[in-house]
Amino acid sequence: MNKVNPGDVLAQSLLGVDGTILLREGVTLTERYIKKLMELEIEYIYIKDDRLDDIKSLDPEFLKIKIAATKSLSKVFSRLQYNDKSSIKDVMATIADIVEYLIDNKEINSTYLLELKTFDNYTYVHSLNTSVLALFFGVQLSYSKSMLIDLGAGALLHDIGKTKVPIEILNKRGKLTKNEYDIMKTHPERGYEIVKNVDYIGERGKLIVLEHHERVDGRGYPFGIKGDEISKFGKIACISDVYDAIVSDRVYRNGLAANEAYEFILGGAGSFFDFELVNIFKQNFSIYPLGACVRLSNGLEGFVVGHNKGFPDRPVVRIIYDEGNNSITPVEINLIQKLDVCIEKIII
Instruction: List, for residues 141-177, the tens digit of each pLDDT value.
Output: 999 999 999 999 999 999 999 999 998 998 888 889 9
Instruction: List, for residues 289-304, the tens digit of each pLDDT value.
Output: 888 888 899 889 899 9
Q: For residue 67, what pLDDT is reported?
A: 81
Instruction: List, for residues 88-136, the tens digit of each pLDDT value.
Output: 888 888 899 999 988 888 767 666 566 555 445 567 788 988 999 999 9
Q: Boundaries of CATH 3.90.105 in the chain?
A: 1-56
Q: What average pLDDT does this structure show over 46-52?
A: 82
Q: For residue 317, what pLDDT is reported?
A: 95
Neighbours of 230 (CB within 10 A): 21
Q: For residue 119, what pLDDT is reported?
A: 45
Picking from 24-28, 33-37, 321-325, which range would have the lowest pLDDT averaged per residue? 321-325
Contact indicator for 212, 234 with CB cutoff of 8 Å: yes
Query: With pLDDT > 90 as the criterion, what percentage of the chain qualifies?
Result: 45
Contact indicator for 113, 175 with CB cutoff of 8 Å: no
Fold classification of 60-284 is Hypothetical protein af1432 (1.10.3210)
Q: What average pLDDT does this structure show over 36-57?
A: 78
Strands (E) located in 299-339: 301-306, 316-321, 327-334
Predicted TM-score (pTM) of the model is 0.83
Q: Boundaries of CATH 1.10.3210.10 in the chain?
A: 60-284
Contact indicator for 43, 117 with CB cutoff of 8 Å: yes
Beta bridge partners of 10: 47
Round to whole Å and give the CA distance between 193 and 161: 8
Q: Is the confidence at residue 43, as pLDDT, over 70?
A: no
**What's the Cα-to-Cα distance from 111 to each of 102, 167, 193, rounded to whole Å?**
13, 30, 33
**How many Cα atoms are found within 13 Å in the side-chain-facing hemisphere of 233?**
25
Enclosing H/E stretch for 344: strand 343-346
Q: What average pLDDT does this structure show over 23-41?
A: 86
- Report the candidate in 161, 163, 170, 98 with the shortest Cα–Cα distance to residue 129: 98
Query: With pLDDT > 70 as the criterion, what percentage of the chain qualifies?
Result: 91
Q: Given pLDDT bands bounded at 50, 70 and 90, which one contains residue 57?
A: low
Instruction: List, for residues 171-198, the tens digit of each pLDDT value.
Output: 888 889 999 999 999 999 999 999 999 9
Residue 110 or residue 140, greater confidence: 140
Q: For residue 111, what pLDDT is reported?
A: 60
Q: Is the confidence at residue 32, as pLDDT, over 80?
A: yes
Round to whole Å and give the CA distance between 276 and 137: 11
What's the one-letter identity of residue 144? S
**What's the Cα-to-Cα distance from 125 to each of 130, 289, 322, rounded to whole Å?**
8, 16, 35
Decide yes or no: CATH 3.90.105 for domain 1-56.
yes
Q: For residue 203, what pLDDT is reported?
A: 96
Neighbours of 26 (CB within 10 A): 12
Instruction: List, for residues 238-257, the tens digit of each pLDDT value.
Output: 999 999 888 876 655 667 77
Picking from 107-111, 194-198, 206-210, 211-215, which range would have the lowest pLDDT averaged per residue? 107-111
Enclosing H/E stretch for 152: helix 145-156
Q: What average pLDDT does this structure show over 323-334?
A: 87
Question: What letter would DSSP give residue 82?
Answer: T
Round to whole Å and give the CA distance between 139 and 37: 35
- Report the candidate in 325, 288, 308 with the shortest Cα–Cα distance to residue 44: 288
Residue 11 or residue 337, greater confidence: 337
Question: What is the Cα Rg of the chain in Å?
Answer: 20
Mean pLDDT of the chain: 86
Q: For residue 259, what pLDDT is reported?
A: 80
Round to whole Å and give the CA distance between 126 and 90: 18
